[in-house]
Structures are given as C-alpha cells and as structure tokens.
Structure 1
Amino acid sequence: MEENKKYEFEEIHIDKLKLDDENPRLPKSLRDSKPSQEELIEFMLLDASLIELMLAIGENGYFPGEQLLVTPTEDGNYKVIEGNRRLSSVKLLNNPNLATVQKAKVNKVIEETTERPENIPCLIFPSDAEIHRYLGFRHITGIKEWRLLEKARYLNNLRESLFSTIDIHNTSREIAKMIGSRMDYVRRILVGYEVYKIIEDEKFFQIRDLNDTTFYFNYIVDSLSRAHIRAFIGINFQAEKPSENLSENNLKKWTKWLYEKNDQNKTRLIGNSSDLNDLNSILAPEHNDALIAFDEKGYSLERAKELTGVQDIVFRDFIANAHNYLEKADAMILKVKNIYPDLDTDLRNIKILSTKIGSTAKEMEDYEG
C-alpha cells in the first residue's frame, strides 16, 4: 500500500477476513470474554437479524458498493472494523455449519438461495486511527447511527487511542471536529461514559435485571445537561477532571430512582425530559426540604415538586398570561368584523372561573391565617 494513500480497494477472500471481537456494538460481557469467531457469529445470529441479511445476499449476491472496512493484522489476515454483520452472513452462506443457533432458519436460507460470494470488496486502511476518523462521522453524526451507549464506547476508544495525553475539554473539541458534532455534546458523552463505567464496576448497584444491555445510557447524557442533577452526582464540567469528586452514594440514589422497580414494576422516575426537569428542580440547593421528602420520606416526584414552590410560579404565569390575552382581545375588538356567536357565553364562563379562583384563594388565605 502506498504511504500517501489512506486506503486502497481490494477483493479479499472470506477466509482471510476476521470479525472484530472489540466491536463497540458488542456487550461488555461478551467483549471481556475474548470471544471466538464462532461465538461472535452466534451473537450476531441471536441479536442482529442475520437471517434477513443472509437471504438478501443469498438471492442477489454481494453488492460491490457495500465494501467492508478492514485493517491488516500481523498474521496476514484482516480485521473487519465495519461490516461484521455482512461478513457473518457471507460466512454462514458458505458454511452453514458455523451456526450453533437458529440452525433451521439458516438451512432454510441455504435451500432457498443460490448466491455464495467468497471474495468480498474491502477498503483496506493502514491503521485503526484512519478508519476511526471515517467511522466517527458515519456512526456518530452520519447516516448509520449506533445506539448511544455504542457511540459512547466508540468515542471513549477514540479518546484513549488518539487523545490520551490531553484533557477532557480539548479531547472533546478535537473529537467534535473529527466527527462533525458539538463539543459540549461530545463532552457529555465522554463524561457520561466515565459515570457509566463506575455504575458498571459496581455491578449496577445490584439492581435486578439491570446490566449493560438494559441500561439506557441516554439517561446519563440527558441528566448531565441539567445543572442541579450534575452537581448532585458530583460532576463539574469546569474542572480539569469533571468526575474527580463524584459522589458514589448520590450516583447510587440516582441509578436506583431511574432503574429500580417496585412491586408494581414501576420506577420512581422515568428518564424523560419532564421527570428529569422535575428532579433537577428538587435537587436545587434551596429546595432541600423537597429532596428530603422525595429521598427519605418516599414522596412521589410530583408531590415533592410541590414543596419547591414551582406551582406558585406556574400559577402566577397562567394568570398573567390570561390577563395579557384578554387585554389583547380588548384592543382588537374594534377591528373585528364578525363577532362569533358564543362570545357572551365564553365571557360569562371567564367571569365565573375568575370569581371561583379568587374565592378559593381567599379561603386559602383565611385558612392559613
């Protein structure tokens, strides 16, 4: 390969192509076990819908535009960085005995198809670093996205292999430029992965059914975009090492709130924007009584939120907005050509409702007094 080329095209026989046992899409439990090629094919069969892909290739052949992205290995073979599902499909088409699961489905594909491609178009990259630059754009911000935890593993691999000597902020900036993303988003993913690794190392705090395949990594990334949740966990984006002062006790609480299910199979929080916003409000330093109610007394999120006084602000805004819209209607009335038939009814209902609100407010003041 010429040194001035980043890659070259070649058709390579499938016997010289090896599946990537460090693929970020693989669960950590599988990657840590140093799986064999047969075990990787088994995982693909169970998890990656290979049967449909086998059927498509077996009927139509291998499309030349779908090159595998590979790097040479010391033993003269090639590691497939991109295209492990396609390689698994082709290997099974040529040797269905590789299937240790879903054997009947694999044999059915063999019976129904005739194409058995052996030489596969590949782009050979001289190093992982070169291929990672391409994959970073394609999978993180491009047209073929991975799940967020897979993205996080990949970005962390980039960080360790290419930017291990610089701080998190500059690393985030460099990776963001590399993959065409925003620096703050990359930083949240990288720091979020540090947090995730702690949770993983603690065996997911022994929460039933929680593991690397059931963990929603976006909960971490979304939580880290909220200042009070971030501070509660102990993450400081301004520090050179944002997770240096992480509170494992509070991280455990956060994890249990989002993932531990009660007898009704429900968690205390749902990881959507609404619940995370409410939690962020409860965790504000001035709302410690709300946090105590939620964390120690078992209040629901909604009930604990009431102690923050946020409803007072929302109520005031509703009244102010209603008044504002009525003022606008009053200013517009002389320009209206056709008064709609139900105007009198609507105005009467507004008056009744405003009177009711005023009476309720007065009763509450008298009660509290």
Structure 2
Amino acid sequence: MPKPVKTPLELNEPTLIEPNQLRLDSQNPRLILSSRKTPGEDTIIQQLHLEDELDELLSSIAANGYLDFEPLVVLDEDPSAPYTVLEGNRRLAAIRLLTDRERAETLGINVPEMDKLLRTTMEKVRVIRVESRAEARTFIAFKHINGPHRWNSYAKAQYAARWFKETRDDNPDATLDAIADRIGDKHATIKRMVAAILVLEQADRNGIFTVDDRSTKRFPFSHLYTALSRKEYMSYLGIDDSWSAWVPTEDPIPQNRLTRLEEVLHWIFGYKPDGLDSIISSQNPDIKRLGEVLTSTVAIATLNDRRDLEIAWEQTRPADTRFSSALITARRAINDAVSSVHAFDGADRGLLDVASEIKEQADLLHDRMRKKSEAKG
C-alpha cells in the first residue's frame, strides 16, 4: 500500500485531514510497556483499550458519529512518515478500530455496528500542528493531570518525568517545582511520582524488573510511589528519608541494594516470568504491612518461604499480641461452629475426630494458662 500523501499543515492552524495521515504516539504516557520496546500501532491500541476504557469511546462514536469538538494535536517528526498524534490518541485508536473491523477482531476488541452515514464523520479529522512536544506540554499536562480527562497515576508520572528530563538537558538547574506549577498539581506528589519512575527505570536497566514482568494486566503504580514514601521501605532500600524532596537523580537506589529492590518489586507487582503473583491485595493496609515486614529479618524470611503477607506480618507483632489475637479468633470460630452444629448429621466420623482434637488442644491450652495464672497469683 503506498504511503498517504501528507497534507501540508501550517503551524497552529486547524486543518481537516484524513486519519491515514496520522500515527499513534509510541511515547504516549498511557502506555505501560518496557522501555526496551518500541510499540507498534496494534500494541498501542491494545494498551489504550486495556487502560483507558476505549469501549466507551467506541460506543459513543458508533452511536453519534465522530464529534469534532477539539482538534488533535500533531507533530511532524518525520517527513517520510505520517504526523504523530500528541493529543488525541484514544480518538485515533477508536477511528482505526471502527474503520477496520477485521483489525479489531484480530486484536480481540469488540466493535459496535455503525451506520454508514455516521461513518462518513470519520473520513476527515481536525488537527493542529505544533512545532515541538515542548510546545504542547502545558496544555496536554493540565488537561490530563488536573483537567477533565485525567490520566492514571502512571501516565501522569511518565509525562512529568519525561518533561523534567528534557528540561534538565537544557537547564541543569531545572526543578520539578516549576513543572508541578505548570501542570497544576502538588509539588510533593509530582516529586514522589517521578522518583518512583526513576526507580522503575533503574530496575529495568539492571535487568531485575520491567513493567512487562508484572503478574496482572493492570499496573497499580500508586502502590510503588506510596511505598517509597514510607520510612521502612527507604531504610530497606538504602535511601535517605528526605530523598523525595530532592531534585530527582538517575539510579536512586544504591548498587548494593538492587537485590532488595528486586524483592520489593516482585512482592508488590508479582513476577510473571517465574509465575509469582503479587502479595498485595489492596494498597491499604497491605503496603503498610509489607513495610512493617521489612523491619524484621524473621518476617522477611517467612515471607520468602511462604509468600503470604498475612503470615509474615504476624511475625512483626509482639508475642503477647499474637497470642491474644489468636485466642479471640479461635473463640469466634468455635462460636460459629456451635451455632451451626445442628447441620452435623452424625455420619461424618472425620468431623467428630476434628472436634475431639480441638477439645484436647483447648484443654491443654486452658491447663497451661491456668497454671501460669495461679503462679502469678
């Protein structure tokens, strides 16, 4: 198929062009892919579908036609290639799928039927060309970080980190505070996010973890930047308590702590190559509990052996607390069994044996506790 002839675009002048003159942005902050890969359009479309509820946009365009409410922002990066879409990738991805049902089927994406007349609304789209990515930054960042179409935390962090690095190349004294002001977000939040991106990049460069290695489809990036703001993780990974307040630097984790970084990332995100699931069920309370585990060598050994956060976390609690908690839990379980004993029909002798064992253990427990209590008295 011959390459489409590109319609010449004046800078900052809205123009209607055919979608085949556009290409999706491989640097889109929404994409959750290893930095070692340059994704093709099919991969980008699949990622946008997974992360950004593309189904809703597909249904809307199929029902109403393409509504040209805002121009796509494009960049002429390569004279021999289509224009790169900096803002509007979801819309372009939806058009690609709605105009190529066979492609959508290959990608495993369900596309709604669309009236022929409505399909004509996708024949041309309005675009506006900018001179550089930097020119479009403030608008795109504000729209997606604190505006009406918010990105997830990973996309925000990716965008801010890339902006910071490119700014720093021109100005070594550049700070994230200025970027946070232009984005419209809190300085501390942006710094924590960018610091976490730098940790992920360090892990990727050292071959210990990439985002492609995670065990789940979605990427709970907030788990990481929340963890890295807690003193237990900082101590375990060898970084200063106030590190997120500094100007972010490459390789924030000391070389002699990379093995520990690998452990932490595998615990938080899982590790698909080895078939390991994440031990984090929910950010609260699991991130806090994992941090507490990191303060105890016994708890860490238990976590490595059992890969069960609840069991490992119990090792961090004082023995008397564990005992009283276990006793109360046992009482609750016995009460539940007693309240439903009418369901026992007497046929399963194995259950009677279990009850006998519980009775023996309870008698032993009571005898030991009574003796200690009498000795205290």
Question: What range is the shorter-chain TM-score in?
Answer: 0.5 to 0.7
Residue identity in the other structure for 1:224: L
Query: Do the aligned residues in 1 keep the contact of 2:11 with 2:128 (CA within 8 Å)?
Result: no
Of 87, 94, 97, the residue aligned with 1:89 is 94
Report the counterpart of residue 4 of structure 2 in structure 1.
Answer: none
Q: What TM-score does the superposition give when structure 1 sets the normalisation length?
A: 0.66
Of 228, 243, 250, the residue aligned with 2:252 is 243
Aligned to 1:306, what secondary structure does the other structure show? coil
Aligned to 2:315, what secondary structure does the other structure show? helix
CA distance change for structure 1 residues 104 and 256 in 2, over 3 Å: closer, same or farther?
Answer: closer
- How much has 1:147 moved relative to structure 2? 2.3
Residue identity in the other structure for 1:155: A
- How much has 1:133 moved relative to structure 2? 1.5
Residue identity in the other structure for 1:136: A
Aligned to 1:156, what secondary structure does the other structure show? helix
> 1:210-251 CA deviation, whole Å, 9 max, x = no partner?
269554221211101111211212233446647152511211
Aligned to 1:32, what secondary structure does the other structure show? coil
- Give the distance between the partners of 2:208 and 2:140, measured in 1 at CA: 30
Of 209, 220, 223, the residue aligned with 1:219 is 223
Aligned to 2:122, what secondary structure does the other structure show? coil
Aligned to 1:64, what secondary structure does the other structure show? coil
Residue identity in the other structure for 1:118: E
CA distance change for structure 1 residues 83 and 270 in 2, over 3 Å: closer, same or farther?
Answer: same
- How much has 1:267 moved relative to structure 2? 4.9
Of 288, 291, 300, the residue aligned with 1:280 is 291
1:32 matched to 2:37 = yes
CA distance change for structure 1 residues 362 and 167 in 2, over 3 Å: closer, same or farther?
Answer: farther
Report the counterpart of residue 83 of structure 2 in structure 1.
Answer: 78
- How much has 1:75 moved relative to structure 2? 1.7
Q: What TM-score does the superposition give when structure 2 sets the normalisation length?
A: 0.65
- How much has 1:306 moved relative to structure 2? 1.0
Of 131, 140, 146, the residue aligned with 1:126 is 131
CA distance change for structure 1 residues 213 and 196 in 2, over 3 Å: closer, same or farther?
Answer: farther
- Give the distance between the partners of 1:144 and 1:207, measured in 2 at CA: 24
- Give the distance between the partners of 1:109 and 1:102, measured in 2 at CA: 19
Report the counterpart of residue 190 of structure 1 in structure 2.
Answer: 194
Q: Percent identical across equivalent pairs?
A: 23
- Give the distance between the partners of 1:297 and 1:44, measured in 2 at CA: 36
- How much has 1:309 moved relative to structure 2? 8.8
Aligned to 2:223, what secondary structure does the other structure show? helix
Aligned to 2:141, what secondary structure does the other structure show? helix
Query: Do the aligned residues in 1 keep the contact of 2:30 with 2:48 (CA within 8 Å)?
Result: no
Aligned pairs for 1:107-256 within 5 A = 108-109=113-114, 113-164=118-169, 171-201=175-205, 210=214, 213-236=217-240, 237-238=242-243, 241=249, 243-245=252-254, 247-256=257-266
- How much has 1:189 moved relative to structure 2? 1.0
Residue identity in the other structure for 1:230: M
Query: Do the aligned residues in 1 keep the contact of 2:146 with 2:184 (CA within 8 Å)?
Result: yes
CA distance change for structure 1 residues 290 and 159 in 2, over 3 Å: closer, same or farther?
Answer: same
What is the Cα-based RMSD across aligned positions, in Å? 4.6
Query: Do the aligned residues in 2 keep the contact of 1:27 with 1:212 (CA within 8 Å)?
Result: no
Report the counterpart of residue 303 of structure 1 in structure 2.
Answer: 314
- Give the distance between the partners of 1:51 and 1:289, measured in 2 at CA: 47
Aligned to 2:67, what secondary structure does the other structure show? coil
- How much has 1:183 moved relative to structure 2? 1.7
Query: Do the aligned residues in 2 keep the contact of 1:281 with 1:305 (CA within 8 Å)?
Result: yes
> 1:314-349 CA deviation, whole Å, 9 max, x = no partner?
xxxxxxxxxxxxxxxxxxxxxxxxxxxxxxxxxxxx
Residue identity in the other structure for 1:172: L
- How much has 1:91 moved relative to structure 2? 4.4
Which runs of 5 or more structure 2 residues have no equivalent in the other structure? Answer: 1-9, 324-368
- How much has 1:144 moved relative to structure 2? 1.6
CA distance change for structure 1 residues 16 and 23 in 2, over 3 Å: closer, same or farther?
Answer: same
- How much has 1:155 moved relative to structure 2? 1.9
- Give the distance between the partners of 2:279 and 2:99, measured in 1 at CA: 50
Report the counterpart of residue 13 of structure 1 in structure 2.
Answer: 18
